[in-house]
A and B are shown apart, each in its own frame.
Chain A
Amino acid sequence: MNPGDKPLILLKAEELQVKRGGTLVLDIPVLEIIAGQVLALIGPNGAGKSTLLLTLACLLKPSRGRFSFNGREIDAGRGDVDYRRRVAMVFQEPLLFDATVFDNVAAGLRIRGVGRAEIGRVVPGYLELFGIAHLAKRSARKLSGGEAQRTSLARAFVTKPEIVFLDEPFSSLDPPTREVLLGDLERIIRETRTTAVASTHDQTEALRLADRMAVMNVGKIVQIGPVAEVINRPADGFVASFVGVETVLPGRVLRSSDGVFTAAVEGGEIQAVGHLRPGERVLCCIRPEHVTLSTNIPPPGTSARNAFPGTIRKITPLGLFHRVRLDCGFDLVVYVTRQSIEELSLEEGKTVMASFKATAVHVIPRGAPPN
């Protein structure tokens, strides 16, 4: 797609509602799936991610709603076999048949009536693509979790679907297996330019796979947009907490001038960018990777408008980096590398200076000041 081209909407759902026992569990006024892009659905358990995926894949009949696929109206139930044969879905569990890996991968093609010769020609390529060629003759019952999920993914991709729906496909895998498989899937999706909708509760997965992100809560899409936009400009406190903004501080604007305002938060004052009036209530969101730690008190010359001394309460290793929780009068979470931990001799109980720029604070207005 060239810059300026209008994105092609492959699937559009409108007025989508799913009720269970009289309770509305999914309520989506409109959702557009753009061709060639990956949309990540994130949200807590029970947010409606799986229900939305099942409905979009025409595996669950919605209480109401309209779908159009490539501009064509489709039956929003299980009746539209033609549509179901143009999309694919991978579930959390691999759900393989009691057959060999080859026969499992060939299942979708056999269902479509593809001949033996064609299957023999096509399937090996996909076994190779997903790194399971050496397991072709093995029983699906004898696969590890990662191998089984690779088989499940190959079974979905071999039918060359126009959209792949992925329902938390890595959540039951151990972290190293998940990491490798995620990398492979990312590469395959990019190489095959597959349109995908993937649900996950892991923000890292969403960041790696997705072009756009939708945050769901209690059956609704709370925010949808390009990944960077959702991550950096969460629409509300719920989205902020869910997309990894670990510090969300409720506050009230004290004063404002030249596009910079000062807000009082519990235990201190924060400067942020925005035209807000004194008295307005705000949520100040600070991403942990935007905060710098220093052992020099006071800190040397810096453009950071916010600097707070704080005591390290807890240091938690998170793989490639560490999560440091500071008590600055309010809780502030910071991500630092292992090298920084060593060079600054950071340890629990030590006092350090935390600083971040006014532009690093994402501000969510919470309401007008009382008159």
Chain B
Amino acid sequence: MDLILEGIQKAFFLIFTLDAEVLGITLLSLKVSGTATLISLFIGISVGTAVALSRFPGRQLVVSLINTGMGLPPVVVGLFVTIFLWRNGPLGFLEILYTPTAIILAQAVIATPIVTGITLASIQHLPANLRLQILALGATRVQMVWLLVKEARLPLFAAVMAGFGGVISEVGASIMVGGNIKGYSRVLTTATVMETGRGNFDIAIALSIILLLLSFFINAILTQIQQRERPR
């Protein structure tokens, strides 16, 4: 019990004294996971909308693959991104293995199916004739897609939250492709794993609390925007 209390004390000490190392790790986590989420939003919303609005042979299989991808194990992603970025791998020439960029890539791979799946479900959940109604209002195809996405904006906020939540908390892929290099590619989750392994439970608890607070504040902001969106 003392261990936990000490950990909590240590956490608040590190937060309020703006410890340089902890601050660096926190900012890198935000930057890496934020960028990965943005990339996944761009790809996920585009692909999810396209699949939701089109009919083609094998569509059912594509939807099944997207839904399976929503539960993609981070270690599997980490393994394959490592293989791809390995010196002799297909993307080895990029020379980004064990860099924050590699973590962004891996996290984007994890978040994209989540955003795609939620987008797909959100667009499909809209009334079937809404698409025709928008066209009947004189919309071009691009305007129609934009209006449909706008109409599904509330569930799409959930996609942002789920995507960000999925990557800020994952550890397997980040440690495999980032290498947990101090001051360079160390993020909150990889640091927590390392400190736990070393028996530094107070610092590990501190980092966990920071991770939880970060996750809470980001989601609180998004929830605020989501709920404000509903007109009175």
Contacts and interface: CB of A to CB of B under 8 A. Distances in A.
Interface of A: 54, 57, 59, 78, 81, 84-85, 87-89, 91, 93, 95, 97-100, 107-108, 111-112, 139-141, 155-156, 159, 165
12 contacts: A84-B135, A84-B136, A85-B138, A89-B132, A91-B129, A99-B231, A100-B231, A107-B137, A111-B138, A112-B138, A139-B230, A159-B138
B133 A89 contact: yes
A93 B151 contact: no
Interface stretch (B60-68, B113-121, B139-147): B139-147
Most chain B CB within a 10 A radius of its CB, from A93, A97, A156, A165: A97
A98 to B, nearest CB: 6
Nearest to B154: A98
A127 to B, nearest CB: 16
Contacts, number: 57
A93 B129 contact: yes
Given A78-B135, A84-B135, A139-B232, A95 B140 contact: no
Contacts of B127: 93, 95
Interface of B: 127, 129-130, 132-133, 135-141, 143, 147, 150-151, 154, 230-232
Contacts of B139: 111
A85 B130 CA distance: 17
Given A100-B231, A139-B230, A139-B232, A54 B138 contact: no
Given A98-B231, A139-B231, A89 B136 contact: yes
B138 A108 contact: yes
A87 B138 CA distance: 8
Given A91-B129, A99-B231, A59 B143 contact: no
A95 B147 CA distance: 13
Nearest to A82: B138
A81 B138 CA distance: 6
Given A59-B132, A95-B129, A95-B130, A108 B137 contact: yes
Contact of A59 (B130, B136, B141): B136
